């Protein structure tokens, strides 16, 4: 009797999970596939560049005397690495992002800013601004190569 109940429960779970998988839109299924056209990395940890945008890879050294300014245009993606010799937390408040950083363990952020403006990158415990991400309006004109 218990074996029948267990078998029935397993069949119900199989039916529910199959139904859930069938209802998930196709675009969400392919989103985390890992590679996009021409073998480019588009997995969950790498932002896809928007049409007309570019992927900018930058590093901020938390021990630098002056905050680093990173300039982007609308549609650009940013793969940001923050390095520090001392343990701390790096925050980009405008995007609600917070990551731990320590010697040998950099903080990494992948952004695709949806709005223009200047956004600070700061260390929480040290109470210092270590960088700014400046997003300007999207470039107009002929298509760029790159």
Question: What is the pLDDT, as a whole number, of residue 122?
Answer: 94
What's the whole-model pTM score?
0.59
Tokens of 50: 């928007």
The 10s digit of each residue's pLDDT in 94-131 is 999 999 999 999 999 999 988 899 999 999 998 999 99
Q: What does the alpha-carbon distance between residue 25 and residue 104 come to, in Å, rounded to a whole number? A: 40
d(CA 52, CA 95) in angstroms, rounded, equals: 22
- CA-CA distances (angstroms) from residue 114 to 64, 77, 78, 80, 117? 28, 10, 12, 16, 10
Q: Where are the domains of the chain?
A: 2-31, 55-136
Query: How far are the Cα atoms of 34, 53, 107 from residue 57, in angstroms, in the given order?
Result: 19, 13, 13
- In DSSP terms, which residues pair with 131 in a beta bridge? 68, 121
User: What is the number of other CB atoms lying within 10 angstroms of the CB of residue 83?
Assistant: 18
| pLDDT tens, N- to C-terminus, the chain (146 residues) | 788 888 888 888 878 787 777 777 655 444 444 444 443 444 444 444 445 678 999 999 999 999 999 999 888 899 999 999 999 999 999 999 999 999 999 999 999 988 899 999 999 998 999 999 999 987 665 555 44
Q: Classify domain 55-136 at the CATH topology level.
A: Immunoglobulin-like (2.60.40)
Instruction: Decide if 90 contacts 99 (C-beta within 8 A).
Output: yes
């Amino acid at each position: 009797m218990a074996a029948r109940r267990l078998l029935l429960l397993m069949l119900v779970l199989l039916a529910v999970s199959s139904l859930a998988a069938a209802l998930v839109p196709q675009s969400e299924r392919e989103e985390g596939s890992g590679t996009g056209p021409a073998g480019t990395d588009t997995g969950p940890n790498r932002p896809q560049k928007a049409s007309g945008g570019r992927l900018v890879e930058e590093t901020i050294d938390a021990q630098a005397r002056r905050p680093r300014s990173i300039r982007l245009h609308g549609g650009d993606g940013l793969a940001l690495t923050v390095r520090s010799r001392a343990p701390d937390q790096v925050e980009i408040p405008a995007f609600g992002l917070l990551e731990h950083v320590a010697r040998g363990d950099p903080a990494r952020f992948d952004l695709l800013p949806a709005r223009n403006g200047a956004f600070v990158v700061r260390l929480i415990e040290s109470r210092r601004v270590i960088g700014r991400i400046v997003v300007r309006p999207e470039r107009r004109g002929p298509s760029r190569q790159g």
